[in-house]
Chain A
Amino acid sequence: MIEIRHLTRVYDGVPVVNDVSLTIGTGELAVLVGTSGSGKTTLLRMINRLVQPTSGQVLVEGVDTATLPAHLLRRRIGYAIQGHGLFPHRTVAQNIATVPRLLGWPRARIDARVDELLALFQLDPATFRNRMPHQLSGGQAQRVGVARALAAKPDLLLMDEPFGALDPLIRAKAQADLRAIQQKLGTTLILVTHDMQEAVDLGDRIAVMDGGRLLQYDHPARILTQPAAPFVRDLIGATDRPLRLLSLKTVGDLAQPGDAEGPAIPPEATLHDALAECLWTGRTALPVQGGGIVTLDALRAEARPR
């Protein structure tokens, strides 16, 4: 569990992060979202003390991070950034092995861990182990960057705009992969983004920041239906609101008994996908693979705040 207590950072008399408190449960994925200059990146960087807080505390599993030497703290916290920051003079394997090497793991354990991570990120170890970073595509480099951050099995992973440099198609796949891996490993993850859609798609909880202050910290559905401030509503975008709400639930959640015409939709598809399918094919109900249907009326009801 990560507890952030009254965290403040002042630059030249101006607070960039202003008295922020929030708690992130173990295994949760929290997204810090806001415009540039909102303080979200500074808040993230205070957690691994790349930025020293002016006041306030960060507690990881009850331990005040200020009591540890900064470099030892950082070896326990995974860190991945936009543009991946891979070391250009080191191979993929050496890049991934960075933190285990700093921690003095034995050679055999490091090698096994590197191969395990490459396989986890769908990169064939034999092919990619000895590649140099400039030989990777953007998506591959991003995956290696995340693998490097996870190498020493950190309990907490911090990511600063990890998908910022990817094109939309690869980005969607990378987001889905990250979510799957995070759930599989049970890692607590804090991710910074300026993209509300990304926040809604990924976050168990979303922290909306503006002008250094935390405006709202809640589950995505509540952020969408009950925005706590006009700024939050603006960030969501009034036109996209119902569609984003639909993207939070799957067809399986809404399936009801019945029969319908046409090709079936998989139960793990989102309600957003189901609505699109209804509109495109002119149907009022879709059969769900494995039985049941999902109706346009039910979708309509889900797209409104209750």
Chain B
Amino acid sequence: MPRLWPPAVLFAMIGLAGLALPLVQFKANRIVPGEGVGLAALPHGPWVMLGLGAALVLACPDRWPAVARLASAVAGLIAATLMLGMAASHLPPAGNSLARVAPASGFWLLVLAFGLMVADAVNRLRPSLALRWVMLAGAVALAAGILASGLLDGVSVMREYATRRDLFGREAQAHLALAFGSLGLALLAGIPLGIAIFQVRRWRGPVLGVLNILQTIPSLALFGMMIPVLGWVAATVPGATQAGVSGIGTFPALVALFLYSLLPVVSNTLAGLSGVPAPTREAAVGLGMTRAQVMAQVLLPLALPVLLAAVRIVLVQNIGLAVIAGLIGGGGFGTFVFQGLGQTAMDLVLLGALPTIALALVAGIALDLLVQGTRRGAA
């Protein structure tokens, strides 16, 4: 009995459950519940099932090489995705354009199992920073390639996409604008605020207290509160409406995301600056740097890794939170999510949710790599 790698056993259990559950749902139209179809019922299905099962089980022994682990996990992800596309083009009878094939529990569990396997294998491989960037770019390119190839065009989510191609582009832009715009504003306001409370100690308590309270307001409530507050501002302050202030739409969404971003930015700026060793700071002053030079040449560069960690937290958080902007007409992928919920069309909900998840995942990994890069330079 070979020694087992416990995470791989867990992934195998998840994956095998996925193989047992229906891979797709076949529905008569986009709203009605459908019936599950397993992998075994598809052409070549049994062979694929056997291959995926073997990949999952083979990875269980501890001595299975990490490269093989990575290769079989990537192959598993591709195979599951291609089978999904194949089911979508194979199951509906010819000429029936109403029937839908949606990914079901089996597909999601397979993606989860092989996705975790990829992460675990990469961890075990300990690739260099440059190689990690290449891997991330490769994964994004692979996903884009599969989507562009048309192999998945029959899948329900892609059919929702096909009828909303232009809208999707606009909402994607709106979503990115909300997430990055609020991040930019938070950095613009939060870094100076963090520097200020670093230098004036007695402001720390009040400032961090207010930001902490803001952070505890549930997101839905904060978005809701924006409507009357900003609506009142727009109605009473002259010129506010012309400047873009309104109770609903992009403006309140941007304000809410900005407020949520402030605490991580301000507190990490403070933590980063406070973390600079006292002798380093004293040497900078003692050698004749002015206050501004000490800040720009010594304190801020050394605080950068902690600051980038804040950027990562805020970006991933805002990509997710921006979905709620859809509720108050702020645009973004949330528009699809809430439209889909209103129409009980899960495919439309997925059209909003899946790109949001992918975006958050890629942004999170990319910023992790960036943080590691600066740490290496500073350490």
Q: Which residues of A come within 8 Å of B, CB atoms?
A: 48, 50, 71-76, 79, 81-89, 98-99, 102, 134, 145, 148-149
Contact = CB atoms under 8 A, between A and B. Distances in A.
B284 A74 contact: no
Interface centre among B284, B287, B377 (most CB of A within 10 A): B287
Contacts of B377: 89
Nearest to A158: B286
Given A85-B280, A88-B280, A72 B288 contact: yes
A76 B287 CA distance: 9
Contacts of B378: 88-89
Contacts of A76: 288
A83 B288 contact: no
B237 interface: no
B285 A99 contact: no
A87 B279 CA distance: 9
A3 B72 CA distance: 78
Given A72-B288, A74-B287, A148-B287, 19 more contacts: A50-B285, A71-B288, A74-B286, A85-B283, A86-B280, A86-B283, A87-B283, A87-B298, A87-B302, A88-B277, A88-B379, A89-B301, A89-B377, A98-B287, A98-B289, A102-B287, A102-B288, A102-B293, A134-B379
B274 interface: no
Interface of B: 277, 279-280, 282-290, 293, 298, 301-302, 377-379
A102 B285 contact: no
A115 B144 CA distance: 53
Contacts of B302: 87-89
Given A88-B379, A134-B379, A99 B287 contact: yes
A83 B280 CA distance: 9
B284 to A, nearest CB: 7
Contact of A81 (B286, B293, B301, B379): B286
A84 B289 contact: no
A75 B288 contact: yes
A85 B279 contact: yes
Given A87-B298, A88-B302, A89-B378, A82 B288 contact: no
A14 to B, nearest CB: 22
Top 9 closest A-B pairs, CB basis? Answer: A85-B283, A75-B288, A74-B288, A85-B279, A79-B286, A83-B279, A89-B378, A71-B288, A71-B290
A11 to B, nearest CB: 17
A79 B289 contact: no
Contacts of A72: 288
Contact of B279 (A73, A75, A81, A149): A81
Contacts of A81: 279, 282-283, 286
Nearest to A74: B288
Contacts of A134: 379
A124 B75 CA distance: 53
A306 B298 CA distance: 54
A85 B279 CA distance: 5
24 contacts: A48-B286, A50-B282, A50-B286, A71-B288, A73-B288, A74-B285, A74-B287, A75-B288, A76-B288, A79-B283, A79-B287, A85-B280, A85-B284, A87-B284, A87-B298, A88-B302, A88-B379, A89-B302, A89-B378, A102-B293, A134-B379, A145-B283, A148-B287, A149-B287
Contacts of B289: 71, 98, 102
Contacts of B279: 81-85
A85 B298 CA distance: 11
B177 to A, nearest CB: 33
Nearest to B276: A88
A87 B277 CA distance: 10
A71 B282 CA distance: 13
B275 to A, nearest CB: 11
A131 to B, nearest CB: 13
A50 B298 CA distance: 17
Contacts of A85: 277, 279-280, 282-284, 286
A73 B288 CA distance: 7
Contacts of A48: 286
Contacts of B290: 71
Contacts of A87: 280, 283-284, 298, 302
A48 B288 CA distance: 9
Contacts of B286: 48, 50, 74, 79, 81, 85
A89 B286 CA distance: 18
Interface centre among A72, A73, A74, A134 (most CB of B within 10 A): A74
Nearest to B293: A102
Interface centre among B277, B285, B288, B298 (most CB of A within 10 A): B288
Interface centre among B277, B280, B286, B378 (most CB of A within 10 A): B286
